[in-house]
Amino acid sequence: MTSDLAVDLGEKSYPIHFPSDASAAIREMLATNVAAGRSNILLTDDGVARAQSKFLADTFGATPRLIVPAGERTKCLETFGKVLDFLAANRVNRQGVLWVVGGGVVGDLGGYSAASYLRGISYVQVPTTLLAMVDSSVGGKTGINLTAGKNLVGAFHHPKAVFIGREFLQTLPPREFAAGMAEIVKYGLLGDAALFAQLEQKPVDARSTELADVIRRCCQLKAEIVKADEFERAPEGGRALLNLGHTFGHAVEQVTGYTTYLHGEGVAIGLAAAARLSHKLGLLTPEDITRVEKTVAAHNLPIRLRGPLPLAELQNATTRDKKNRADGVRFVVMPSLGRAATRSGIAPSTVEAVWREVGAT
Ligand SMILES: NC(=O)c1ccc[n+]([C@@H]2O[C@H](COP(=O)([O-])OP(=O)(O)OC[C@H]3O[C@@H](n4cnc5c(N)ncnc54)[C@H](O)[C@@H]3O)[C@@H](O)[C@H]2O)c1
Ligand SMILES: O=C(O)C(=O)C[C@@H](O)[C@H](O)[C@H](O)COP(=O)(O)O
Ligand SMILES: [Zn+2]
């Protein structure tokens, strides 16, 4: 039995539950909502609707549901409009609760819809991918993509609760499991050297007995970082550290039109790139780069682009990153394995050299 965690944010605090029976725990909250006159409404995607049909039927019964297409392209203005229309068509009022069941795509989309509809209603995160369990369901970063770039529209809007049920992972395809591992390796590299060493010595897979503790540890790390810098406003470090590998990773996702690399795969390449950048800045040793790349690769993740991508487009995509300030693109680098820091003012030629090393042309 894994004990609950709390994301400690004053009035906005919420629990992360790790129930032994997610369906039962969720049914209890659904019933409590109904008793309090709060309507429940469900958002999921067609992949989850297929893979978890029994769970959805047993748990949510006749709750009105919107099923959106699976995949990153669903995180767009058009689908956002459809979610809002669905909430309005069901006459959801400010007491309504949106249940977001799925991976980070429906989590970000549903969270942003909940932030916007009637200027804000409650929502609950039920992550069904490993990535969503360790990262996207916690912290209240919600949003959608624009043609111009990834996550360019959104809001900080925290869920009422998060229910993490490892039983969902039984139907998760191996490639999606690996994508979640990228964010887990990220946590080790940015803030927990012991976690990184553990992953380095013994890669975690879907059957690992360590998995429950690793998921909880990542949620705990994220909750601490979010508590300290909820809106990513710290002048240096702070919540931006959760973006380790993402300046590179988001560029890869965007330049390939969100069709070739999963978010976690972009992050995996981004971690290798961040290690290489950290070396060029005199922070990490070549041995450190090898340790990072071996650990990422041992979790069935890419450390190089699968095919060449145009350097100019990749560089251009990084200029849209939300961490950027007047002095240019801001990267997250590693002073050592297990510690991260923000750094800007890096010469474009240095970043270009890193892009080439991971396969850009
Ligand atoms: N808000 C945040 O803090 C945050 C953090 C990390 C990532 N993200 C975002 O999360 C998204 C990626 O999330 P993701 O990796 O969960 O991808 P995803 O939401 O696209 O889900 C991956 C795929 O797995 C399927 N799926 C989900 N659960 C399943 C299950 N239990 N069994 C079988 N299939 C299942 C889905 O249908 C989908 O096809 C990206 O958009 C990324 O930007 C947000
Ligand atoms: O919660 C955060 O803060 C993160 O940066 C977590 C990231 O893993 C996640 O991919 C997030 O969506 C990236 O946010 P963005 O601000 O770079 O769009
Ligand atoms: Zn991420």
Residue 152 exposure: Cα atoms within 13 Å on the Cβ side: 15
What ipTM goes with this model? 0.99
Tell me, what's the pLDDT at 273? Answer: 98
Q: Are 338 and 189 in contact (CB under 8 A)?
A: yes
Residue ending a domain, among 131, 146, 171, is 171
301: CATH: 1.20.1090.10
Structure tokens at 293: 């790349």
Pocket probe for ligand 1: among 44, 59, 136, 256, the residue whose CB has the most ligand atoms within 8 Å is: 136
Residue 183 near ligand 2, beta carbon < 6 Å: yes
187 and 157 both lie in a single domain = no
Tell me, what's the pLDDT at 327? Answer: 83
205 and 245 both lie in a single domain = yes
Tell me, what's the pLDDT at 113? Answer: 99
- Mean pLDDT within 47-70: 98
138 and 201 both lie in a single domain = no
148 and 239 both lie in a single domain = no
Which of 137, 319, 313, 336 lies closest to 222, judged by CA? 137
Structure tokens at 104: 């980070």
Confidence of residue 9 (pLDDT cuts 50, 70, 90): very high
Confidence of residue 205 (pLDDT cuts 50, 70, 90): very high
Q: For the chain, what is the largest distance between any 2 Cα atoms, rounded to a whole number of angstroms?
A: 61
163 and 194 both lie in a single domain = no
Q: How far is the CA of 69 from the centre of ligand 2 (A)?
A: 22
Q: How far is the CA of 180 from the centre of ligand 1 (A)?
A: 9
Tell me, what's the pLDDT at 72? Answer: 97
Tell me, what's the pLDDT at 326? Answer: 85
128: CATH: 3.40.50.1970
Burial class (CB in 10 A: 0-12, 13-18, 19+), 234: middle
Which of 94, 135, 96 lies closest to 118, judged by CA? 94
318 and 237 both lie in a single domain = yes
Residue 177 exposure: Cα atoms within 13 Å on the Cβ side: 18
Percent above pLDDT 90 for the chain: 97
Q: Which residue has the least CA distance to atom 19 on ligand 1?
A: 103
Enter the pTM of the model.
0.98
Q: Are 98 and 122 in contact (CB under 8 A)?
A: yes
Residue 160 known to be catalytic:
no
Q: Is 245 left (phi over 0), alpha (psi -120 to 50) or beta?
A: left
Residue 17 known to be catalytic:
no
Residue ending a domain, among 108, 137, 171, is 171
Q: Which of 17, 141, 276, 299 is catalytic?
A: 141
Question: Residue 1 pLDDT more than 80?
Answer: no
237 and 105 both lie in a single domain = no
Mean pLDDT for the chain?
97
Residue ending a domain, among 139, 171, 203, is 171
Q: Which residue has the tokens 């804000």?
A: 120
Q: How far is the CA of 242 from the centre of ligand 2 (A)?
A: 6
- Mean pLDDT within 327-341: 96
- Mean pLDDT within 83-99: 98
Tell me, what's the pLDDT at 328? Answer: 87
Question: Residue 266 pLDDT more than 80?
Answer: yes
Tell me, what's the pLDDT at 153? Answer: 98
Structure tokens at 179: 């994508």
- Domain that residue 347 falls in: 174-357
Interval 107-145: pLDDT, tens? 999 999 999 999 999 999 999 999 999 999 999 999 999
167 and 184 both lie in a single domain = no
Tell me, what's the pLDDT at 188? Answer: 99
Question: Residue 226 pLDDT more than 90?
Answer: yes
329 annotated binding-site participant: no
205 and 154 both lie in a single domain = no
Count the domains in the chain.
2
- Mean pLDDT within 157-179: 98
For residues 267 and 254, what is the distance between their CA atoms, to the nearest angstrom? 12
Pocket probe for ligand 2: among 109, 125, 133, 141, the residue whose CB has the most ligand atoms within 8 Å is: 141
Residue 236 known to be catalytic:
yes
Confidence of residue 211 (pLDDT cuts 50, 70, 90): very high
Question: Residue 70 pLDDT more than 90?
Answer: yes
104 annotated binding-site participant: yes
Ligand 1 binding pocket, CB closer than 6 Å: 45, 47-48, 51-52, 70-72, 75, 102-106, 108, 128-129, 131-132, 135-136, 139, 141, 151, 168, 171-172, 176, 179, 262-264
Calculate Rg over the CA atoms of the chain: 20
Q: Which of 217, 263, 276, 291 is catalytic?
A: 263
Tell me, what's the pLDDT at 187? Answer: 98
Higher local confidence (pLDDT), 326 or 114: 114
Tell me, what's the pLDDT at 175? Answer: 98
